[in-house]
Amino acid sequence: MKNETKGLFKRKNNHKEEDRINKFNAISKPTNILLNGLFAILAALCIVPFLFVVIISLTSEESLQLNGYKFWPEEWSLEAYKYIFTSGSNILNAYGVTIVVTIVGTLLGLIIMTTYAYALSRKSFAYKKFFTKLIFIPMLFSGGIVASYLVVTRFLNLKNNILALILPICVSSFHIIILRTFFKTTVPDAIIESAKIDGASELVLFLKIVLPISLPAITTIALFLTLGFWNDWFNAMLYIDKNSLIPLQYLLIKIETSIEFLTNNSASLGTTAVEQAAKIPRDTVRMAIVVISTLPIILAYPFFQKYFVSGLTVGAVKE
């Protein structure tokens, strides 16, 4: 009887404690409405500027000069996009180069950095201290542009090679440290020991257990790599002279530079140049360049976000 009374009293206390926790975590309806409104405003502040850029890129240059920037322009036009796609630049080829570089570079970078970081996270790795110090060196010291250029063009002989767009930014010491820390703190030792007892090799352990558990960190690094490769133009400026290997960002920069050159020097180039410069949709082309360069990444981001959310619950360890 006493045990039943104690059990009932304990259950009542547990229910009270749960009620306190639920009450503490609960959000009142006015507060919920206020928070939803705040987040809606923040979302609008992020989305509206990009929509405004899209609208400006679809505005005729004459309407833009006469009426200024408007959310609903007086005259719609595709002249900016026509100019970019028909100005002698093979933009579809540049898109293809950028897509190949982004996909191959991201996959190669993930393979190298995840395997490197996993080895550093294992206590049994004999050379862990040496390789940890090795990745810290590029974070503190850099050989500079001249040394990098000589290594890529003379030592590796990658001038006008698509690998020159991939290898220089394929591996990051900072990303390796993030992955190593995630492997050490998040992957449970109990799961690894159980898999070893069952006879799993290091490769099987890494592919079937460590990677699924570490999906949030890997997806984060993949997103960083994707953005880095997609927005890179500096390596193309250094190492690429062939038009067939020019990536998207560098091609768009060259188009904008050409427009500025014609606009600023049309008077000294003759009457024909003045007439051509007057026909160029300068402001709308700039906005169209922003849309062309950022829209694919914006469309790809929900794919990464999906794996962010799904990866958070993978590999949970139950007590």
189: domain CATH number is 1.10.3720.10
Q: Are residues 29 and 157 in the same domain?
A: no
Q: Are residues 142 and 55 in the same domain?
A: no
From 42, 57, 81, give the residue that closes a domain: 81
Please say whether the beta carbons of 237 and 249 come within 8 A: no
pLDDT per position as a tens digit, 255-285: 778 777 776 766 565 556 555 555 666 778 8
What is the pLDDT, as a whole number, of residue 167? 92
Q: Are residues 26 and 106 in the same domain?
A: no
Range of the domain at 61: 17-81
Residue 297 lies in a domain: no
What is the pLDDT, as a whole number, of residue 239? 93
The residue-averaged pLDDT of 292-318 equals 61
Name the pTM for this structure: 0.76
What is the pLDDT, as a whole number, of residue 311? 43
Q: How far is CA 237 from CA 134, 159, 208, 242, in A?
A: 29, 11, 41, 11
* Whether the predicted pLDDT of 179 surpasses 80: yes
Nearest alpha-carbon partner for 307 in 110, 50, 166: 110
Q: Are residues 21 and 96 in the same domain?
A: no
From 81, 108, 131, give the residue that closes a domain: 81
The residue-averaged pLDDT of 231-254 equals 88
Q: Are residues 149 and 235 in the same domain?
A: yes
Decide: helix, strand or coil at residue 5: helix
What is the pLDDT, as a whole number, of residue 268? 62
pLDDT per position as a tens digit, 143-169: 788 888 999 999 989 999 999 999 999
In 185-258, beta strands by DSSP E? none
Nearest alpha-carbon partner for 278 in 287, 269, 291: 269
What's the CA gap between 176 and 185, in Å, rounded?
14
Q: Are residues 43 and 137 in the same domain?
A: no
Write phi, then psi, for 194 (nearest 5 degrees).
Answer: -65, -40
Q: Are residues 37 and 174 in the same domain?
A: no
pLDDT band (50, 70, 90) for residue 127: confident
* Whether the predicted pLDDT of 212 surpasses 70: yes
152 CB burial (10 A radius; 0-12, 13-18, 19+): buried
51 CB burial (10 A radius; 0-12, 13-18, 19+): exposed
Percent of the chain with pLDDT over 70: 79
CA torsion 88-93-94-99 (nearest 10°) is 160
pLDDT per position as a tens digit, 76-87: 888 888 877 776
